[in-house]
Amino acid sequence: MTSSSAAAPVKLWNKNFVLWWLGSAQSAFGTALAGIATSFLVLHQTGSASAMGLNLALAMLPALLQPFLGAWVDRIPLKIPLVAGNVLRGLLQLGVGFWALRGHLPTEIIYAASFLTGLVGAFYAPATQGLVARLVPAGELERVTGLMQGATQTMTMLGLVAGGFLVATLGRAQTLMLDGLSFLLFAGVLLLVQLPARASHAADERYWDTFKAGVRYVRGSTLLMGLPLLSLLVNASFAPIDMLLPKRMLSLGAGERGYGLFFGLLLAGAAGGSFLVAGLGQRVNARAASVAGMTVMGLAVLALAFTQTAVQMYVLAVCMGLGNAFCNMGIGVIFQKRVAPEYFGRVGSLLGMVGMAGMPLTLLALTPFADRLSINSIFAVCGIVTVLGALAWAGILRRDAKTGEVIRIPIESGRFRFNPSGCE
């Protein structure tokens, strides 16, 4: 399979961007359905928050392999990992759903499927890094980031809200099978997307030379060195929320519907914030947005420690979503402007791996104690850590602005110079 190349885009609403935008949105809907179905399938069979934490950790652990897979992705046509990743994940979800439909599904099989799905995702994710920047004109980056986030978050919100009701009425197995079909549908859509050619030396290098070039690229910037460490800290503080929220909702009498509604409202806030960003376009300062968004998220999580009803948690979920929209938009735009396109896979996967490591490591550490720790205490610690992370990120951005860094990286016999003011 080879990747079709497209000319540089001259308008925002071109065919390739529209197909990618719509395909990503419908895939997000199916993924949200599966998240609820899998979580409550494990909880239904084990009754343990620890088992849920272990399942989440197994799905996240393969992200540690992303830098090695990212170096490979930068050496091959992008359509291979994009299409294959969706086909494999679709088949896995269909298989688990079909087995569960026939009767009792061993928990070990769910664990194995979660790990394999995470492994496929570790192969797929590097191919998506910075992809949208190559499908739209450079001047539309802020606007298109908001559009991508808004559509994905809206469909994820609908999937979570609908998922709670579907799991409760249709069943967990049927929901998983719907998710599998959504991945296969997205794979078909991707076959129609033409991707611009990448100017890269990676295909002519040895694999380890390609990998080491990505590492050197990150080491050439204080901002790129600080971002993954900060992401690791923040992700580690948020991981227990995913792990303990279902049990909290059950204790409040909200159950699956409350769990789905919480994340649905969180994503409603995120979608609203993302579409606001899309409307403002270049008037949004990406750096200020990332700091403000992270601060709002931290304060909202801290406030969760003082909630006593599901309604209070729903209000804070919207606040967390708004903060998340501005934070993710800011960081996404900074990444796509500071990293050269031929390094998107390697650099993006390296940053993602370090950041994601905080989640499975925290989940595994908490698994033996999850059923004994105070959920309110965990929320308080998570919120404080996130606010401190926002302050640290503000300091990194301030230093980066003063030094005016230019990322340099040796490529074969020459030197590569990248202008941080925008993508080339």
In angstroms, the CA 319 to CA 55 distance is: 28
Report yes or no: 366 and 159 within 8 Å, Cβ to Cβ. no
pLDDT at 196: 66
Is residue 47 predicted with pLDDT exceeding 80?
no
Sequence-distant (≥ 6) Cβ neighbours of residue 281 within 8 angstroms: 140, 142, 143, 146
Fold equal for 11-193 and 221-402: yes
Dihedral sign computed on CA atoms, order 136, 344, 188, 95: negative
pLDDT at 318: 92
Fold of 221-402: Growth Hormone; Chain: A; (1.20.1250)
Report yes or no: 295 and 387 within 8 Å, Cβ to Cβ. yes
pLDDT band at 401 (very low <50, low <70, confident <90, very high): confident
Closest CA to 420 of 214, 412, 147, 403: 403
pLDDT tens-place string over residues 258-309: 877 887 788 788 888 888 888 887 788 888 888 999 899 889 989 988 888 8
Report yes or no: 135 and 20 within 8 Å, Cβ to Cβ. yes
pLDDT band at 315 (very low <50, low <70, confident <90, very high): very high
For domain 11-193, give the CATH superfamily: MFS general substrate transporter like domains (1.20.1250.20)
pLDDT at 403: 65
Dihedral sign computed on CA atoms, order 366, 371, 377, 383: positive
pLDDT at 1: 42
Closest CA to 109 of 176, 160, 42: 42
Report yes or no: 237 and 287 within 8 Å, Cβ to Cβ. no
Is residue 87 predicted with pLDDT exceeding 90?
yes
Sequence-distant (≥ 6) Cβ neighbours of residue 420 within 8 angstroms: 337, 338, 404, 405, 406, 407
Point out which residues pair with 417 in neighbouring strands: 408
Task: Report CA-CA distances (Å) from 163 to 93, 98, 392.
Answer: 15, 18, 37
pLDDT band at 414 (very low <50, low <70, confident <90, very high): very low
Query: What is the CA angle 37-40-45, rounded to 5?
Result: 120
Is residue 404 predicted with pLDDT exceeding 70?
no
pLDDT band at 410 (very low <50, low <70, confident <90, very high): very low
pLDDT at 371: 66
pLDDT at 321: 86
Percent of the chain with pLDDT over 70: 86
Compute the mean pLDDT over every residue in the chain, rounded to the nearest whole number.
77
pLDDT at 295: 93
pLDDT band at 46 (very low <50, low <70, confident <90, very high): confident
Please give the residue that has the higher pLDDT: either 65 or 363.
65
- Helical pair 286-304 and 375-403, crossing angle rounded to 10 deg: 170
pLDDT tens-place string over residues 199-251: 555 556 677 777 888 888 887 777 888 777 777 777 776 777 777 777 777 77
Dihedral sign computed on CA atoms, order 251, 253, 257, 260: negative
Other Cβ atoms closer than 10 A to 279 = 13
- Helical pair 207-219 and 222-251, crossing angle rounded to 10 deg: 90
In angstroms, the CA 182 to CA 28 distance is: 9
In angstroms, the CA 175 to CA 393 distance is: 39
pLDDT band at 319 (very low <50, low <70, confident <90, very high): very high
Other Cβ atoms closer than 10 A to 42 = 25
Q: What are the domain boundaries of the chain?
A: 11-193, 221-402
Average pLDDT estimate for 2-23: 74
